[in-house]
Structure 1
Amino acid sequence: MARNPLADALGLDHDELTKLVATLRERAETVATAESLTGGLVVAALTSVPGSSAVVRGGVVVYATPLKAQLAGVDPAALAEHGPVHPLIAEQLADGARVACGSTWGIGLTGVAGPDPQDGTEPGVVHLAVSGAGHTIVRTIGIDGNRHQVRSGAVRAAFDLLNARFEEPAGG
């Protein structure tokens, strides 16, 4: 199989990425993203796979805090109370992406890539969520390394979380 330069740059297994897209196709499911920390890398990785247009509905990059509410449907009160780097924000990003794009699954990511802390949160803290109709899974993980390693690790973690959802009934 041909190499995927983006997958290689992110440390993703090309075959696993292709399998993820194929699984979505087989299940007749779609995915959308709302990304802060990763700046669009999740949707870019998905769309690097031929045939991904059948499953990727879209994505928004909401790097600026106000855009999380304006474009991804995050509750402004939650942003005011918790700040942009919080598990609840990842959950609302995922659900907002799913609803706004009319997809089966939504993926939301927020965190601190570094090198400096943000609002008291240390670099390497990542909050990610996968939303399906009626149920959202949220994870907080720590990733050691430089800015690139944190961001690419967050992409891998998002795909791992989505893959874990495939063990559940379709759409749930």
Structure 2
Amino acid sequence: MIAEALAREVLALARARGLRIATAESCTGGMVAAALTDVAGSSDVFDRGFVTYSNAAKEAVLGVLPATLAAHGAVSEAVAAEMASGAQRNSLAELTVATTGIAGPGGSEYKPEGRVCFGLSLGGQTQVETIDFGPLGRAEVRLAATQHALQLLQRALTA
């Protein structure tokens, strides 16, 4: 499985750099954390995962501002950035990745099914991006978002 090989590589790279990882997930519901922790021995690198599916959880657990949610909605780069930063603040990790999106079914003209916003925080610097995976179906969007989150971690660790 591609995610397994990628997770192994991410963990090896983080281990070599002496970095710990945490995840903040909404639409992926813990799938990124599961991919990392499926690898035996990951506990020396993976610190924790936050599954914050509701807006209330994003606020309470990660410190996402209610004003950010009101202005941009949960599926936004602004919220992804605050999720990634919040995961870093509330963990022992130096590297965090966040996912928030619309796995489907459904969506809207402005936020279509398959849109996922990602946040990546390394050493206090946060980057965001949005990927439109398209209406692949709920399971496939979540798998694609998990894979992409792992790729973001990989890129951050090889930069």
Q: TM-score range by the shorter chain?
A: over 0.9
* Percent identity for Structure 1 against Structure 2: 37
* Unpaired stretches in structure 2, ≥5 consecutive residues: none
Letter of the aligned partner of 1:154 in structure 2? A
The aligned amino acid for 2:17 is R
Q: Which amino acid aligns with 2:151?
A: D
Alpha carbons 1:98, 1:107 under 8 Å: kept: no
Which residue number in structure 2 is paired with residue 38 of structure 1?
28
Q: Does 1:19 align with 2:12?
A: no
Matched to 1:24, the amino acid is A
Do 1:90 and 1:110's aligned partners in 2 also have CA atoms closer than 8 Å?
Answer: yes
Alignment of 1:46-125 (within 5 A): 46-117=36-107, 120-125=110-115
Distance across 2 between alignment mates of 1:22 and 1:61: 24
Q: Normalized against structure 2, the TM-score is what?
A: 0.94
For the residues of structure 2 that align with 1:163 and 1:139, how far apart are their CA atoms? 15
Structure 1 residue corresponding to 2:156, chosen from 152, 156, 165: 165
Are 1:34 and 1:107, in contact at CA under 8 Å, matched by a contact in 2?
Answer: yes
Amino acid at match of 1:148: A
CA shift in 2, pair 1:103/1:130, >3 Å: same
Please list the CA deviations of residues 12-56 of structure 1 after superposition, one character each: whole Å capped at 9, or x if unmatched: 343232121111111110011110010000101100001100011
Shift of 1:134: 3.0
Cα pair 2:10 2:157 within 8 Å, conserved: no
Deviation at 1:95, TM superposition (A): 0.8
Alpha-carbon deviation of 1:115?
A: 0.8
Conservation of the 8 A alpha-carbon contact between 1:46 and 1:56: yes
Give the aligned partner of residue 155 of structure 1. Answer: 146
- Paired residue type of 1:161: L
